[in-house]
Amino acid sequence: MVGSTVNICDHTFLPQLIDSSSVVIDLGAYDGDFAQAVIDRFHCKVISAEPVRELAERIQPHPLLRILPVAVGGKDQSVTLNVFDARCASVFAATSPEEQAEARTVEMISFEEFCRRAAVDRMDVLKLDIEGAEIELFDSLSDKELQSATQITVEFHDFLYPEQRPAINRIRERMQDIGFWVLPFSFDNSDVLFLSKNAAVGRADVTYLRSFLRYGKRIARRLRAMAT
């Protein structure tokens, strides 16, 4: 029976499926906190992508960590990256006139090219936190590419870009159709886990997780109501 989950930098996944031989792909590394926490806990290899130069340079080097200074998206191209003062950089424009951003041209590569450059031959965890570009990335990936991952933990960004919600619902349906359990660990789509049905996790375990999630959400709603 599944006993626990782990949440690292607002990304939830199952730790019992990871060991020192695992490979974790970290797209949207930011300042490296996620990668460092994974290495500290599991002592496994992490391959990260971070297109903001200052952030990539700030990440602490480690023998188990490789960093590619690129954005990962739907295809190989140069893109304009908006580096915001108050939130993470994105290929999408400001959501209000008050937001300040510096526009930079960065290299974006496809996931296939990322795997080629990083010599990736397995994916035990794929973490996606690419500020809205995850929609295009999912749409660019074949079923086979997605099925090569055991766990995919995603921060979708419909809380910033509500127009993405229909596409996110479509992605969730697709992932179910190609053999993944869909486990939302947040009230919105900011922490969603796609868990391969080929993983060593049974239907009873998934039922337990879903029941735990529903129960936990009810508690959270009550706590919020009591605080108001």
Claim to verify: residue 130 and residue 207 sit in the same structural domain:
no
Asked, for residue 101, whether it belongs to a domain, the answer is no
Query: 223 and 113 share a domain?
Result: no
> Do both 133 and 226 map to the same domain?
no
**Domain holding 116: CATH number?**
3.40.50.150
Residue 212 is predicted with a pLDDT of: 66
Q: 122 and 34, same structural domain?
A: yes
> Are both 36 and 59 inside the same structural domain?
yes
Does the residue 1 lie in any domain?
no
158 contacts 143 by C-beta, under 8 angstroms: no
Q: Tell me if 100 is assigned to some domain.
A: no
- Report pLDDT digits (tens) over 191-211: 999 999 999 888 888 888 877
Look at residue 204 in the predicted model and tell me its pLDDT: 84
- Tell me: do 48 and 114 sit in the same domain: yes
67 plus 172 within the same structural domain = yes
N-to-C CA span, the chain: 37
pLDDT at position 215 is: 53
Same domain, 58 and 125: yes
Domain that includes residue 218, residue range: 201-228
15 falls within a domain = no
CB contact set of 150 (below 8 Å; sequence gap of 6+): 17, 123, 124, 125, 195, 196, 198, 199
pTM for the full model?
Answer: 0.89
Same domain, 116 and 227: no
Is 153 a member of any domain?
Answer: yes
128 and 219: one domain? no
**pLDDT given for residue 200 in this prediction:** 84
One pLDDT digit (tens) per residue for the chain, 228 residues: 455 789 999 999 999 999 999 999 999 999 999 999 999 999 999 999 999 999 999 999 999 999 999 999 999 999 998 888 888 888 888 778 888 888 999 999 999 999 999 999 889 999 999 988 899 999 999 999 999 999 999 999 998 889 999 999 999 999 999 999 999 988 889 999 999 999 988 888 888 887 766 555 544 444 444 455
For residues 121 and 205, membership in a common domain is answered with: no
Q: 116 lies in a domain? A: yes
| Residue 65 falls inside a structural domain | yes
Same-domain status, 55 and 161: yes
The region that residue 201 occupies, defined by phi over 0 for left and psi between -120 and 50 for alpha, beta otherwise, is beta
Specify if 13 maps to a domain: no
Domains in the chain: how many in total?
2
